[in-house]
A and B are shown apart, each in its own frame.
Chain A
Amino acid sequence: MSELAILYDASKCTACRGCQVACKQWNDLSGDVTTNRGTYENPPDLSANTWLKIKFIEQGTYPDIRWLFGRRSCMHCTESACVDVCPTKALYHHEMGFVAYDKSKCSGCGYCVEACPFDVPRSSSGAVTGIRHANKCTLCQDRVTNEEKPACVKSCPTGALTFGERSDILAAAQARVNVLKAGNPKANIYGDTQLGGLHVLYVLEDSPEVYGLPGNPKVPIATTVWKDIVQPVGWGLAGIAVLGLGLNYIIAQRKIKIKSEGE
């Protein structure tokens, strides 16, 4: 099956936040109570109830100002740290490319919250018992597997969000960047190569860092060490111990029993 992707074209975004509302509506997420922080950006951060938000980057002082808009949500990586650390496979790679999530399997360990290089998953409370559940964008798994667009894409009035096969989306992003480059040499694509290719691609008007995105996101080294070294070595160690003990049992049982019987 071909892989799907969302394209967010920051140059077309007006920060109407229709996508934020559509996400909450479709996924039945309640609003977070927030306070006025002197910015249109609201809510201030992703939360267990907010899987998508538009980021406002306000630079300079009036009248010499620049407003950039970014999108904060799951990037649906190919090499995804959250899938690596998830012990119950509640987070997994869907054959359509995105990082799907089955909340009923979540153990509430919170490892994905810590491991994500984009700081996206959030878990509800439950610090004492450990029983809590992670939340994040599922790329509207229930919609896209039924040939519908994700809710955020469907709501977008300016065409900043589009959705389709990843190869088409990548071509469209490239074409758009080529157009933008005529007037803005800093225009670039984000997500084409990062972490094996993201399934949310961005057309940006400035470097990724300006948008608060890691230029070179990586699966955390501790996660790689844990999954690729500690786990296999742990098994090896336990296996050697059990084999050694079994060998000892066979030899000692014979040699020592015979000896004590002879006494």
Chain B
Amino acid sequence: MSKAKGLRTWPHLAARRRRPSEYEIVSTNLHFRTMFEEYSELSPSIPMNRWYRKYVRESPLQHDDWDAFRDPDEVTYRTYTVMQDGQETYVDGLLDEHDELGHDRSLPDDWAATLARLYTPARFMLHAVQMASAYVVITAPSSTVTCCAAYQMSDALRWVARVAYRTSELADHHPGLGFGKNERSIWEQDPAWQGFRELSERALVAYDWGEAVVALNVVVKPAIDEAFLRQLPAAGRRHGDLLLGLLTDAQLRDSERSRRWTKAFVEFARQRAGNEEVLARWVEKWAPLGDRAIEAFTAALPESPEAGATAVRDARAFRSGLGFVS
């Protein structure tokens, strides 16, 4: 074979006259489930083909080229593991250091009881985020959206593990408060959690793929950010808990990355006429559930009368930063 001229890159990237990034080389235009008349070559009547037709192909959210979506952070698997390995080393350091300082032992009993009520049961809520993100992985009609959702799913798994870790530590130092035992019944029954539980359950069954993204990324996750990752540790700092805020700040780093791709997604979707109304309708539907979840949770925070209003305001600020009025 004589040596011919090479190709600069994949054909779909070659049209633009610039070098592709590694992200573009490895993340773009990879799904085949979007390319043909049906989701799969199996009969159109099988449940999975019908699911995709209903919840993806026939979604009110449409675009001529979902494949053109780009993650503004251009995360790849390789950069994700480098980044998160570094972040986990940092968190290990926090845990180790605070253990040596006797942090948990010196927490006042009333604050430890608050953690048993309002912190450790969060593993269910964060796992719901993990599951809902997994749904976006499997339905998104663009490999770039799938990838964003996969890293987001993994971030959630990360924090479920850290909450489980803290639950075990707190059980060691504050036995008798139900750490490691009562979380499920608190999640299922305590009024503080019912807003988030309802929000999580409903988000898990929002099966239209576009609605799933909007519910999860525009409403659910920001509500968790404001109530759980900001207001809870703010109360904690007034009760001698410095570790919680350091951990939640680390978690907010992951959340901020989600917010960035969410913003890019909304702007991308808006390119197509008609999507603005669809997105706005979904935000209008889900925002009140998010606010209720925030209010129910923050009402239980000790000495935090402003927490609810602040968190609702800040969640709304994120949405208005995306151009939504609800």
Partners in one complex: no
